[in-house]
Amino acid sequence: MKRVFLPEKKLKQFFSKISQEYELFACAKSEETNRIVRLDDIPEEFEFAPVRTAESLRLFLLKLRQLVAKYPSDEFKEITPNFPRRAVIGVKGCDIRAIKIFDEVFLNDPDYVDPFYKSARESLFLVSIDCTDALDTCFCNLLGDKPYAEEGFDINLSPVEGGYVAIAGSDRGDEILSSLSLSEAEQQAISQMETNRKTVLAKLEEINKDFKTEKSYRELLEASEGSNGWETAADCVGCGACTNICPTCFCFTLYDLKGKDANYRFSVWDSCQYSGFARMAGGTNPRRSLLERFKHRYNHKFLHYPIRYNGVYACVGCGRCIVNCLGKIDIRQTFKKLDEAAKTAVSKE
C-alpha cells in the first residue's frame, strides 16, 4: 500500500470521518499518565500520547464481566454478542501486537472461537501511531520488537513535521484514507519517519542496555528448574496487579448467579497469581505456593505460549507490570538474575 501524507490541519476531518461509523477513542498525552479517552466531540487539535497509555486495548476486547449464558430454558438460546463499533486512534505498536496474542487463543483455532471476543474484535477499528519517546520501563526491543507497528492496524500514522505519514493496513483503512484526498508522502517525510523510528529504537537500546541477557528468555526458563535465580520472587505479594494490567493476559473464570426467573452465567477476569486460580475439586492445587505461581506467570508467557503458538512470546514489553507491581519487581531484572545464575552454574561445572 502506498504511503500518504495527512496534514495536521486535516486531523479533525480524519477523526470526523472515522466517527461516522465508530464511537471514537484516542490515546491522549497527559502530564501525569497517558490515557485512552473517549471523544464525544471532535477536537480542533489533538496531542497524541508519545508512549503507551496506562490502560491497554484489553478493556475493549474482554469485558471485566461478560454474561455468557442464561438458563434453564426449554430451548437452546444463544446469547448474541453485540459489541458497539469502536475506533481507537493512537495505539502503540506493543498494544497492536498484544491483540495478535489474544487472536491466537480466542479466534484463530476454528474449534475454539470465542463469540464474544470475535464480536468485540470485529467491531474494533485501530489506528496505530509510532512511539515518539520511550519510558524507562519499555523493553519491546529486548523481545526483538520495534516501537512502531508493522501490521495488525487499519491505519498507521508516523508523526513528521506538519502532519503524519499514513499507511492503510486494511481495506476499511484504505477507504478512509482515500476519502480524504491525500497526496502521496514525499521522500523527505518518509526519511524523517525513518530517522524518528531509529531515534526511539536507539533510546530503547540505551534504556535496556544493562538488562540484556546472554540467553533468550525462553532458553533461560527451559533451564530454570532448580535455578537459584528466582530471587525477585521474594518480593511478590500475590496481588495480581501484574496480570490485571497486562495487555496479553487472558485468564478468566466462570461463575453462576441465581436470578428471580433464571440463572445467569458470567465470565470474569481472573489471575494466575491468585491462590484459588488453579485449585481443583477436592482442594488439590498444583500451584499452592506463591513461588510456584510467580514462576508460572513467566513460564506461561515465555515458554508455554511460544511452544503452543509458533515461538511468539505472550509479552510485548510494554512495562505496565513493572510500573504497577506492589513488590517493585521488574520482569527484566528477574531474567537478568536467571541469566546470572545460569552463568554461575556453568562456571562451577
Query: CB of residue 161 vs ligand SF4: minimum separation in angstroms?
Result: 31
Q: Based on CB atoms, which residue is closest to ligand SF4, 11 or 62?
A: 62
Gap between the Cα atoms of 90 and 18, Å rounded? 13
Min CB(299)–ligand SF4 separation in Å: 12
**Alpha carbon distance 185, 127 (integer Å):** 18
User: What is the closest distance, in whole angstroms, from the C-beta atom of residue 301 to ligand SF4 in the complex?
Assistant: 6
Cβ proximity to ligand SF4: between 268 and 326 the closer is 326
- Local structure of 17: helix, strand or coil: helix
Strand partners, 124: 86
Task: Rank residues 88 and 165 by Cβ distance to ligand SF4 and give the closer one.
Answer: 88
Report CA-CA distances (Å) from 34 to 57, 245, 314: 14, 14, 23
Residue closer to ligand SF4 by CB (options 5, 313) is: 313
State which residue, 117 or 313, has the beta carbon closest to ligand SF4: 313
317, 301 Cβ separation under 8 angstroms: no
CA–CA separation, 89 vs 126, rounded Å? 6
Q: 101 or 185: whose CB is closer to ligand SF4?
A: 101
Query: Cα torsion at 265, 269, 274, 278 (round to 10°)?
Result: 50
Q: 134 or 246, CB closer to ligand SF4?
A: 246
Q: How far apart are CA 167 and CA 63, in angstroms?
A: 30
Phi, psi of 236 (to 5 degrees): -75, 135
Closest distance to ligand SF4 from the beta carbon of 33 (Å): 15
Best CA proximity match to 246, nearest among 117, 58, 31, 101: 58
Residue 304 C-alpha cell reads as: 508455554
For residues 237 and 262, which CB has a smaller minimum distance to ligand SF4 in the complex? 237
Cell of 238: 500475590
**Shortest CB 216 distance to ligand SF4, Å:** 15
Query: In whole angstroms, how close is the CB of 328 to ligand SF4 at the nearest point?
Result: 8
What distances in angstroms separate CA 256 from CA 63, 69, 128, 251, 252, one per listed residue? Answer: 17, 9, 38, 17, 14
Q: How far is the CB of 234 from ligand SF4 (least distance, A)?
A: 10
CB of 84 to ligand SF4, least distance (A): 26
CA distance to 202, 210, 319, 335, per residue, from 206 (Å):
6, 8, 16, 18
Could you list the residues that contact ligand SF4 (CB under 6 A)?
Answer: 236-242, 245-248, 273, 301, 315-321, 325-327, 329, 331
